[in-house]
């Protein structure tokens, strides 16, 4: 592997997983809905100005715009809201990353009806093994006498469903001839704009846009908007151009250990023995899936 082939995946892994840490840093200063409102409002404005200056701002028509906005609502809005609410309720960032790491395998398992790829028994077995690892970690941490605690650990599974749905819609758009795929910058603009619009009302009704505009929050938002939202997305796009989809998806399995390390450095989060055991089981399921992955078409 060349130096560039190594650095780009490393950059993506670090930027993507720093989003979990950045979110936890920002939540003490505002609510989840308001954080999403500011983040995607600023991101939409930046992308609008960029597209305007480069003369790439255009409206491709509703039949193309609506599916892209729907993907944005699921992949950005619902996915991140689930992450933020679980973090806000006290779920450690590393555990959130561990749960959401189920998403690539779930996408692969359920994409058969769209892509025609054959999902083998070994792949399903790998998904089940990984789920068992996640369940072990989650159930060991849940305080079943506290319904709020139990619910907090279930919220990230909503994020998994949302991101999996978004990926399946995108695959359908890539395969179907009647869909037009927009360039990366235009795609991100419409996805960001849809997410921003979706959070105006809940941010106002439930949180009244309450925000403590202190230096740590401003710096955190700058990081979430530019390196994470733009940098991670751009590196993801480049990686998808250079490697197969299943190889790229395997990068998400680095999320739990990387995020756990970051959370330990940033917040002093500690690992339980069951966290380590669950992590090992999840990676066993991943290796089982990757080893027996045979994307044959019917």
Q: How confident is the model at residue 135, as a pLDDT?
A: 85
Q: In the chain, what's the furthest Cα-to-Cα distance?
A: 57
Residues 6+ apart with CB under 8 A from 12: 232, 235, 236, 239, 251
pLDDT tens track, the chain, 298 positions: 456 667 888 899 999 999 999 999 999 999 999 999 999 999 999 999 999 999 999 999 998 999 999 999 999 999 999 999 999 999 999 999 989 988 887 887 777 666 666 667 777 787 788 888 888 888 888 877 787 878 899 999 999 999 989 888 887 777 766 566 788 899 999 999 999 999 999 999 999 999 999 999 999 999 999 999 999 988 888 887 777 666 677 788 888 888 998 999 999 988 888 888 888 888 888 777 666 554 443 3
Kindly state whether residue 5 falls inside one of the protein's structural domains. no
CB 26 within 8 A of CB 217: yes
Q: Is 297 helix (H, G, I), strand (E, B) or coil?
A: strand
Give dist(CA 285, CA 217) in Å, integer. Answer: 38
Q: Is 211 helix (H, G, I), strand (E, B) or coil?
A: strand
Q: How confident is the model at residue 115, as a pLDDT?
A: 63
CB 16 within 8 A of CB 163: no
Q: Is the pTM of this model over 0.85?
A: yes
**C-alpha closest to that of 71 among 62, 79, 59:** 79
Kindly state whether residue 241 falls inside one of the protein's structural domains. yes
Domain that holds residue 163: 13-53+65-291
Give dist(CA 77, CA 97) in Å, integer. Answer: 17
Kindly state whether residue 126 falls inside one of the protein's structural domains. yes
Kindly state whether residue 162 falls inside one of the protein's structural domains. yes
CB 36 within 8 A of CB 224: no
Q: How confident is the model at residue 244, as a pLDDT?
A: 64
Residues 6+ apart with CB under 8 A from 259: 17, 20, 21, 93, 94, 96, 97
Kindly state whether residue 212 falls inside one of the protein's structural domains. yes
Number of domains in the chain: 1
Angle in degrees, CA 151, 16, 271, rounded to 5: 55
Kindly state whether residue 6 falls inside one of the protein's structural domains. no
Kindly state whether residue 58 falls inside one of the protein's structural domains. no
Kindly state whether residue 297 falls inside one of the protein's structural domains. no
| Residue 260 Cα distances to 97, 146, 243, 266, angstroms | 8, 24, 26, 10
Q: How confident is the model at residue 297, as a pLDDT?
A: 38
């Amino acid at each position: 592997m060349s130096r560039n082939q190594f650095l780009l995946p490393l950059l993506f892994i670090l930027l993507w997983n720093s989003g979990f840490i950045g979110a936890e840093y920002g939540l003490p200063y505002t609510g989840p809905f308001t954080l999403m409102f500011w983040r995607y409002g600023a991101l939409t404005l930046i992308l609008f100005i960029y597209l305007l200056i480069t003369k790439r701002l255009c409206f491709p028509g509703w039949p193309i715009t609506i599916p892209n906005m729907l993907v944005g609502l699921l992949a950005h809005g619902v996915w991140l809201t689930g992450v933020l609410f679980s973090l806000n309720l006290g779920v450690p960032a590393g555990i959130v990353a561990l749960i959401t790491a189920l998403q690539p395998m779930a996408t692969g398992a359920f994409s058969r009806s769209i892509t025609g790829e054959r999902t083998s028994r070994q792949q399903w077995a790998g998904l089940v093994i990984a789920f068992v690892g996640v369940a072990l970690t989650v159930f060991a941490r849940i305080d079943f006498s506290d319904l709020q605690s139990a619910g907090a650990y279930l919220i990230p599974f909503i994020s998994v469903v949302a991101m999996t749905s978004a990926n399946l819609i995108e695959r359908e758009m890539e395969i179907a001839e009647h869909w037009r795929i927009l360039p990366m910058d235009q795609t991100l603009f419409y996805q960001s704009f849809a997410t921003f619009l979706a959070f105006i009302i809940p941010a106002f009704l439930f949180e009244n846009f309450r925000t403590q505009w202190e230096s740590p929050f401003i710096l955190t938002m700058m990081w979430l908007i530019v390196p994470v939202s733009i940098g991670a997305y751009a590196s993801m796009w480049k990686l998808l151009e250079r490697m197969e989809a299943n190889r790229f998806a395997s990068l998400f399995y680095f999320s739990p250990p990387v995020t756990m390390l970051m959370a330990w450095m940033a917040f002093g989060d500690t690992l339980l023995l069951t966290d380590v055991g669950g992590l090992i089981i999840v990676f066993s399921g991943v290796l089982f899936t990757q080893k027996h992955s045979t994307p044959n078409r019917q």
